[in-house]
Amino acid sequence: MENEENVLTIEDGVVKKCKKDAVSVIIPVGVHTIGVYAFGDCTQLEEISIPSGLHRVRARAFVNCTSLLKVHLADDMTYLKADWFKDLPEQYELICNEESETFKIIKRSTRLKAHVKSLALSDAKSEKKKLVQSASIDAVLSTSLNEIEGAFYKILSKRKTATSVLVKIGKNCGSFKFGQDSAKWLGKVPKIIEILSDQEKEGSEIYKELKESKITLSDFSSAYYIDVNADSCGNLNVFMSGRFKGRGLRIKGNNTLSIFGARSLGYELVESVRDFEQIVLNEGLESIEAYAFSDCENLKSITIPEGTKRIDYAAFRLCTSLTSIKLPESIEEIVSYAFECCTSLSSIHIPKTIKKIGDFAFQGTNIKNLEQSFCIQKNENCNVDFTIKNSLVTENNTLVYATSNIQELVVPSGIEKIANYAFRDCKFLKRVKISEGVKKIGTGAFKGCSFLQEVSIPDSIEQIEGFVFEDTAVLSLEKTYRVKSAQIRNGGKVVDFSIKDGFAMEDDTLAYVAFNKRKLLLCEETLVIPDFVRRIDTIGDACKNVVSIFVPASVEEICSASFRECENLLSIEYGGTKKQWKAIQKSGSWDLDLSAKSVKCTDGEISL
């Protein structure tokens, strides 16, 4: 190869340019980057040597290097990308020591190893084996199943070591793994067909025979666009191992689905099982993953086997026909929203061994009482007593949420705190009586309770967090309460909290609009802020559809992003003069995301 000093321009470890007539080049040690278009249009260049310290090749570095077919690599490279050589001819070759670290890096990249002769040859042989293997499986199964009514097979996946195949006969459907050596599985195909063909035996008997015959089962994670029909009675047995992901597998049936051998049920399973009324899960199952049965509106009954430890996020959400469920003694964790909106679920057995129950796990159910309380882990350093009584979920002295759609809430004695968002969006809630002893109402506790009108708060209250009554029908509270401010900037300052004419106030500051007139069809064209407001902190979500706001001359300060939630606000009217408007103290970002372009004062407009 040519002396690099004669052909390369190098600056600070970067190859800037190469002579156009160079035929072969050694890039010297110390170069870490090949610059943009460095070898561009070097049409005579046939080979190049790259040092180990190189870690970057810029765009179009080898563009139009039409003769560059050999790339020599140092033995101890630590970084290598296929994109470096994307402009080279398709048949370029990477050359390196097969005992080197560089060779190991190349083997891990599908695109790079195709350009090393020994690896490319190996891959070609492997692909040929897979084709032969696949063809032989096709031939055997096609011949064997051809005359069996209602039988079919489908290849699920092809890998280097094995091919997974779905075989279905009548009400029995299995996912099987066939290795590369046909001699090891050829004799088992007739046995698989014999076992699956027996339509009189129970699924558990079929599964036992498959295991005793040492037939290898596989997962369903690679199934794509396959329709599997249950038998004429709507029943289907599925035999497998590993994870049942269900992606693209469409199972048609309306009675009972029994699953054998699954270790876990994936989040896409719902697409496969939503039509069944009864699902029976069998031994070996460890976890039911997030959304696994979510939206299975026809599901009336499910059997969960002993050994299952975890029910994940929203796993049974919106299973509206599910009336009862018995969890096995092995269950350790029920994750947040696991049974949310299972509106018919009135009975559940939870084992004493339960360790964790996530937030809102039973919200929107019909569970009124649990048979006992449970000591669960709330976080690393805290355990609490969890129970449901009279449709109210409590953790120690905290009221967490209601399981069902209640119209009237009477907070039970012994409660000191109502949790954040505890009753958010409870559409049927109309009246709330908070008992003496409650000290804190958490953020957004009644946010979005559209028909909540009557609220009674005790004198024991010490803290009312932000947006507690936002987007409700609350026009006023019985009195003013001395509580810690919910505004971070106030740093726990004690303020007078009240709701007047639907406006939540901290002293003379508008904290948010509580009363949502638009939802109750009482909306006025303009939201009129009353003149008892001196400071506007935020308007809030309840006014996101308001198109016009009137700000009284009493306002002395407007805080940061006060109108941000008012997505459709087109105009602001002010009850004072332009001079008075300019005198109002405003945060630098008070008009963040504001659509209105001007303020109409009593003596003219001011542009924003």
| pLDDT for res 543 | 77
Coil, helix or strand at residue 409: strand
Q: Supply the pTM of this predicted model.
A: 0.72
In three-state secondary structure terms, 130 is helix
Provide the pLDDT for residue 500: 94
Which residue, 545, 556, 522, 552, is CA-closest to 595? 545
With cut-offs at 50, 70 and 90, classify the pLDDT of residue 371. confident
DSSP secondary structure string, 193-237? HHHHH--SS-HHHHHHHHHHTTPPB--STT--SEEEE--TTS-EE
To the nearest 10 degrees (0 to 180), the angle between helices 203-212 and 188-197 is 170
The better pLDDT of the pair 226, 4 is held by: 226
Residue 597: what pLDDT?
Answer: 87
CB 36 within 8 A of CB 59: yes
pLDDT for the residue 307: 96
Mean pLDDT confidence for 600-608: 93
Residue 498 pLDDT level (bands cut at 50, 70, 90): very high
Q: Specify the pLDDT at position 274.
A: 87
Pairing relationship of beta strands 172-179 and 162-169 according to DSSP bridges: antiparallel
pLDDT band at 79; cut points 50, 70, 90: confident
Residue 339 confidence class, pLDDT cut points 50, 70, 90: very high
Q: Which two tokens stand for residue 59?
A: 């765009």
Query: Is 315 in contact with 291 (CB distance < 8 Å)?
Result: yes
Question: With bands split at pLDDT 50, 70 and 90, how would you rate the model's confidence at 288?
Answer: very high
pLDDT band for position 113 (50/70/90)?
Answer: confident
Per-residue pLDDT of 453-494, as tens digits, reads: 999 999 999 999 999 999 999 999 999 999 999 887 777 899
Q: What is the pLDDT of residue 515?
A: 87
Cα 494 to Cα 403: distance, rounded to the nearest angstrom: 34
pLDDT category at 518 given cuts 50, 70, 90 is low
Q: How far apart are CA 437 and CA 34, in angstroms?
A: 72
- On the question of pLDDT at 41 being above 80, the answer is yes
As a whole number, the mean pLDDT across the chain is: 89
Is 50 exceeded by the pLDDT of residue 51? yes
Q: How much of the chain, in percent, has pLDDT values that exceed 70? A: 94
The β-bridge partners of 326 are 349
Q: What is the pLDDT of residue 132?
A: 43
Whether pLDDT at 1 is above 60: no
∠ Cα 334 339 344 (to 5°): 145
What tokens were used for 315? 């796993």
Residue 433 has pLDDT above 60, yes or no: yes
Spatial distance between the Cα atoms of 185 and 189, rounded to a whole number of angstroms: 7
pLDDT at position 208 over 90: yes
Which pLDDT score is estimated for 120? 59
| Residue type for position 329 | E
Question: pLDDT digit string (tens) for 536-588?
Answer: 998 887 777 788 899 999 999 999 888 888 878 889 999 999 999 999 999 88
Confidence check: pLDDT of 192 > 80:
yes
Q: Is the pLDDT of residue 123 over 70?
A: no
Helix residue ranges per DSSP H, 236-392:
270-273
Q: Kindly tell me the burial class for residue 250, based on how many C-beta atoms sit within 10 Å of its own C-beta (0-12, 13-18, 19 or more).
A: middle
Instruction: Kindly tell me if the per-residue pLDDT of 523 is higher than 60.
Output: no
For residue 491, the model assigns a pLDDT of: 76
